[in-house]
Amino acid sequence: MSLELYSTLSRRKQVFEPINAGEVKMYVCGVTVYDYTHIGHGRTFISFDIIRRWLEASGFKVTFVRNITDVDDKIIRRAAERHVTCDALTDEFARAMQEDMLTLGCLAPTVEPRATHFIPQMLNIIDKLEKKGLAYQTKSGDVAYAVRQFKDYGKLSGKSIDDLISGERVAADESKRDPLDFVLWKSAKPGEPQWDSPWGKGRPGWHIECSAMSCHYLGETFDIHGGGPDLIFPHHENEIAQSEGANGKRFANYWMHTGPLRVMNKEGKEEKMSKSLGNFWTVRDAIAETDDKFGKGNGAQVLRFFLMRTHYRSPILFGPDLIVDAYQSLKRLYTALKDVPADNEPLDWNEECAKRFAEAMNDDFNVPVAVAQLFELANRAQAQKSAAMSRQLKKLGAILNILQGDPEAFLKGSTEGLDEAAIEEAIAARAAAKKAKDYAKADEIRKHLAQMGVMLTDTPQGTTWQRVLVEKAH
């Protein structure tokens, strides 16, 4: 079955045909590093991590570029507030972002360029645009893109220029010829980072950086360009205008965007995530909260599983209580791997569930349907005591980068107030009480462990235990 993916540009699924056979060149917009990454970034980056992993599992050599925006109004303001340089601020949060993505199980990009390292390439594009009549210097000294001179403007967002002008995102600026024209180069202001240019000292606008970096690493036309839903307009629309305007070539063949993420507030209502609403979740905070619920070290696995279970193009609702189902589901899969350890044979793509897994992933990376095959394998592994089914479960899970931890460690997690030695000691005390026919004491020990989040299972080989959720009093 051929791989089909949905392109925002064509508004339909298309058979994926790379420019070069066996190779995929993909660019995903990264973050502006002035603060910690939030769970919306996590959702987008996990989605494209899985897309990349499936392409590689399908035999493609993938060049995956994800940029870092390290010059921006927000960065300048935050650096001033903290009395540090922009470089010091962006270094700190770039490292934090990389750590967060690795913790969430995302592969590092093939290359992760910083905007400030590509000023000459940006100036070259602006120069081309000016010579073609697509850019001009404003009275304020900025260089702006002349949107009405690019006949295809709006083709990604599907809006006409008149629709876009009436939109709330377009701010009035008397120095520009048209309110929709966007800034390519900002003239220097005192105390801000600045570079020399043919139009005077200044710094790049936001949109131009991605055109420069993607073309540098992937060529003037490449396969896939991706990002979050908020980037469709204006960022990606402007990238197309300036890249295709400068180079006279199609910029990217396929445009992929994730669905929006919203959060559930304390009243159980769905709303946009915002610091002003007090519902803002960084990746670090979400992992810490999830660790607290499901055991130290399990939080990142559970959060990744939660964020990937919804189809990448669909909206997703986040809330600490909503993650419980993801934990219980992951627990089911790990229980199967614990009960029936996998054999060491290679993944069998001819096996029924593996075939359906591949079909789902080839259908616009349909992870929810692919994950359903994992539960089928878990059921078969336990019902048939089949090490082959466990192997299929574990190796298909590896493609999504889940189920690769020790099952016993995941199921035990960490238990408040008791370490593993204390739990084993309590189990031994219970066994001794049962042997002495002191069943009341044995039941008391079991009940105490249950209250601490430890469930016991008696088997012919002895007593085993695992962590369970315990509702905490508020």
Please report the DSSP string for 34-46 in residue order: SS--BHHHHHHHH
The annotation status of 353 as a binding-site residue, yes or no, is: no
Nearest residue to 305 via CA among 323, 332, 286: 323
Nearest 5°: phi and psi at 226?
-135, 170
Is 462 exposed, middle or buried, given 0-12, 13-18 or 19+ CB atoms closer than 10 A? Answer: exposed
Please report the DSSP string for 383-418 in residue order: HHT-HHHHHHHHHHHHHTT-S-S-HHHHHH--BTTB
Number of H helices, E strands in the chain: 16, 15
Token pair belonging to 66: 């994800």
Query: CA–CA separation, 38 vs 318, rounded Å?
Result: 12
Question: Furthest-apart CA pair in the chain: how many Å?
Answer: 93
CB-based contact 321:419 (threshold 8 Å): no
Query: CA–CA separation, 216 vs 246, rounded Å?
Result: 14
The annotation status of 235 as a binding-site residue, yes or no, is: yes
The annotation status of 210 as a binding-site residue, yes or no, is: yes
Token pair belonging to 22: 């066996």
Please name the residue that has the structure tokens 């008149």: 162
Token pair belonging to 12: 């339909």
> Residue 203: which H helix or E strand, with range?
strand 202-204
CB-based contact 187:141 (threshold 8 Å): yes
The annotation status of 275 as a binding-site residue, yes or no, is: yes
The annotation status of 29 as a binding-site residue, yes or no, is: yes
CB neighbours of 191 closer than 8 A, spacing ≥ 6? 80
Please report the DSSP string for 143-159 in residue order: EEE-GGG-TTTTTTTT-
Query: CA–CA separation, 231 vs 307, rounded Å?
Result: 19
Query: CA–CA separation, 202 vs 123, rounded Å?
Result: 11
Give the residue ranges of the annotated binding site for Zn(2+).
29, 210, 235, 239
Give the residue ranges of the annotated binding site for ATP.
275
Give the residue ranges of the annotated binding site.
29, 210, 235, 239, 275
